[in-house]
């Protein structure tokens, strides 16, 4: 994802000159990464020699997700060893207060402002969304760190897990429509309101259009995020082969925006 996305990515960093794109992971994977996704240079930091940065990521992940934040061994074994975490770093003074206070950094020390981790899967080109957070309000950092991380790992498709009422749905649709796949394998703590989605990243022009919030809006059915019966029936239909999508912006005034594709 470079051509159509490049001007948008350059505009984001021009508007946020104190941000830089970095990656933290095992050195063995460096040759497999695109270290200039959408033309933005990535500084790769070896996780083997950056334990303090890994600790900072762990602290912010646990702050963002509370009781389900990643344990240290999971960070080492399942994040850093098999893949790479995409990071937007910035002076600590730009972070939301809870993050600044937790990290105990001086204002000008570099901190992780936003981060994304997507896990490799058995299917070539398919990655699984695992963790996305941002402590940089009002900048669009979540959508950009996600988009650039996916470009960095050369993802062609993304599968992720989220909840109907999760504000992150609006971030996820910044990459385009979210095709409904079905329920979470093995269940979930928030099972009734959780679903698996897939985003096709193969059409860069469409991704760029969605990132610009320029995708033409097709007619969509509005379903309240609290109507778990109706939403559950959508997952039943998706699992049976119906092609159903959440269309950008994904949510509006307590509703998800759904369309069905035919043919």
Please state the domain extents for the chain: 1-116, 156-263
Token pair listed for 169 = 């749905």
- Contacts of residue 71, defined as CB under 8 A and 6 or more positions apart, other chains included, come to none
Structure confidence by residue, pLDDT tens digits, 24-60 = 999 999 999 999 999 999 999 999 999 999 999 999 9
Burial of residue 119 (CB within 10 Å: 0-12, 13-18, 19+) is middle
CB neighbour burial string for 224-243, b if at least 16 within 10 angstroms, e if fewer: ebeeeeebbebbeebeeeee
pLDDT value, residue 69: 80
Residue with tokens 């498709």: 157
83-104 mean pLDDT? 96
Name the E strands within the chain: 20-25, 43-46, 84-91, 110-120, 126-134, 157-163, 178-182, 194-200, 221-224, 243-252, 255-261
Residue 240 clears pLDDT 50, i.e. is over it? yes
Instruction: State residue 218's pLDDT score.
Output: 66
What's the pLDDT score for residue 190? 72
Yes or no: say if 136 and 94 are a contact pair by the CB < 8 Å rule. yes
Give the rounded percent of residues in the chain with a pLDDT score beyond 70: 97
> Tokens 């000008």 appear where?
108
Cis peptide before 204 (omega within 30 of 0): no
Tens-place pLDDT, residues 185-209: 987 777 789 999 999 999 999 899 9
Nearest-angstrom CA–CA distance, 156 and 200: 7
**Has residue 163 got a pLDDT over 70?**
yes
Write the pLDDT tens digit of every residue in 108-118.
Answer: 999 999 999 99
Mean pLDDT of the chain: 94
Evaluate the omega torsion of the peptide bond into residue 240 and state whether it is cis, within 30 degrees of 0.
no
7: enclosing H helix or E strand: helix 6-15
CA distance 85 to 38: 17
Q: Among residues of the chain, what percentage have pLDDT more than 90?
A: 88
Residue 239 host element (H or E): helix 228-239
> Which pLDDT score, from 0 to 100, does residue 187 have?
77
- pLDDT category at 1 given cuts 50, 70, 90 is very low
Task: Give the model's confidence band at 262: pLDDT under 50 very low, under 70 low, under 90 confident, else very high.
Answer: confident
Residue 36 phi, psi (nearest 5): -145, 55
pTM here is 0.94
Rounded distance between C-alpha atoms, residue 127 and residue 187, angstroms: 19
Q: Which two tokens stand for residue 28?
A: 């063995």
- Distance between alpha carbon 112 and the CA centroid of its chain, in Å? 15
Tell which residue, 46, 181, 170, has the closest CA to residue 126. 181
- Is residue 155's pLDDT more than 80? yes
């Amino acid at each position: 994802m470079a051509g159509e996305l490049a001007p948008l990515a350059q505009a984001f960093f021009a508007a946020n000159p104190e941000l830089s794109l970095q990656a933290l992971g095992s050195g063995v994977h460096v040759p497999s990464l695109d270290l200039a996704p959408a033309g933005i240079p990535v500084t790769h930091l070896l996780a083997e020699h950056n334990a303090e940065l890994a600790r900072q990521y762990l602290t912010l992940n646990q702050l963002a997700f509370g009781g389900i934040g990643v344990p240290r061994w999971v960070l080492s074994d399942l994040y850093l060893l098999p893949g790479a975490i995409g990071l937007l770093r910035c002076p600590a003074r730009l972070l939301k207060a809870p993050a600044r206070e937790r990290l105990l950094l001086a204002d000008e020390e570099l901190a992780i402002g936003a981060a994304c981790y997507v896990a490799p899967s058995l299917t070539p080109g398919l990655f699984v969304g695992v963790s996305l957070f941002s402590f940089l309000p009002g900048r669009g950092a979540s959508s950009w760190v996600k988009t650039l991380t996916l470009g960095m790992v050369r993802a062609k498709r993304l599968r992720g897990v989220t909840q109907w009422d999760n504000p992150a749905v609006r971030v996820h649709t910044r990459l385009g429509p979210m095709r409904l796949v079905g329920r979470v394998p093995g269940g979930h703590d928030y099972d009734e309101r959780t679903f698996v989605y897939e985003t096709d990243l193969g059409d860069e022009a469409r991704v760029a259009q969605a990132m610009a919030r320029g995708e033409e809006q097709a007619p969509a059915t509005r379903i309240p995020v609290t109507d778990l019966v109706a939403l559950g029936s959508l997952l039943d239909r998706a699992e049976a082969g119906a092609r159903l999508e959440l269309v950008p912006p994904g949510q509006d005034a307590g509703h998800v925006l759904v369309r069905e594709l035919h043919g």
